Structure 1
Amino acid sequence: MYEEKHKHLKELEKVLVSRIENVSHDLNSEHSADSAEQVTERENEDVLRHLKEESRLELKQVRSALKRIESGEYGSCTQCGETISSARLDALPYATLCIRCAS
């Protein structure tokens, strides 16, 4: 029933894993010897750390959604048990709450 969602989530999982690996690599890069450039590099690192953390959180949600598909719980609100609308799942494929409970 949710084969297309499963496929989309698996693709999103690959993208997120790749993003986390690339950001980790960038964060481990050596700094410039120029102190002015080091300031910019440190600011960029802050952005990269935030991106990495956001990606890790999203990856956790994606993997949780994949487990819910496997267990047959996907598409049901974890709070009230009602069906999550397909429009909501299209917009946020790892949604755990229906729109009413999310509000």
Structure 2
Amino acid sequence: MRDFADRTAQLEQRRAELLERMHSLDAELDSHGDPDWEENAIEHEQDEAMEALGLSAQAEIRMIDAALARISAGEYGACVRCGTEISNERLDLLPATPFCRDCAR
């Protein structure tokens, strides 16, 4: 069994960064509300972009949580579809990936 202490720390750090980003986005969204309709329209467009970033962060957090659960269960590093060991190179690029290169296609 491989030791994933460094990988766990990496995933937890990324998760903390994403949570901080989400809190910043929430604060920014809460601060909007200009009474001028033109400014409000611009803010609305910006809000949609920020909401998309927040949704992306939520999705990545779910992937990280699943990866941390696989680490705890001793299943991290194995493809959830075929069981093949995921290469270290792939895990370096996509530490939360549940799939080997072939199954990700």
Q: Deviations over 1:67-92 (max 9, x none)?
A: 11111000000000010011110000
Runs of 4+ in 1 over 4 A off after TM superposition: none
CA contact (8 A) 2:32 2:43 kept: no
Q: Percent identity?
A: 31
Amino acid at match of 2:39: E
Choose from 26, 49, 70 the match for 2:28.
26
Amino acid at match of 2:87: S
Q: Deviations over 1:32-51 (max 9, x none)?
A: 12221111100000001100
CA contact (8 A) 2:81 2:99 kept: yes
TM-score, length of structure 2 as denominator length = 0.94
Choose from 15, 30, 34 the match for 1:13.
15
Q: Please give the root-mean-square deviation of Cα atoms over the aligned residues, in Å.
A: 0.8
Distance in 2 of aligned mates of 1:84 and 1:69: 13
Match of 2:38 in 1: 36
Distance in 1 of aligned mates of 2:27 and 2:12: 23
Structure 2: gaps spanning 5 or more residues: none
Match of 1:77 in 2: 79
Q: Tell me how far 1:26 sits from its aligned partner.
A: 1.4
* Count of paired positions: 103
Structure 1: gaps spanning 5 or more residues: none
Distance in 2 of aligned mates of 1:30 and 1:59: 26
Distance in 2 of aligned mates of 1:60 and 1:29: 27
Match of 1:95 in 2: 97
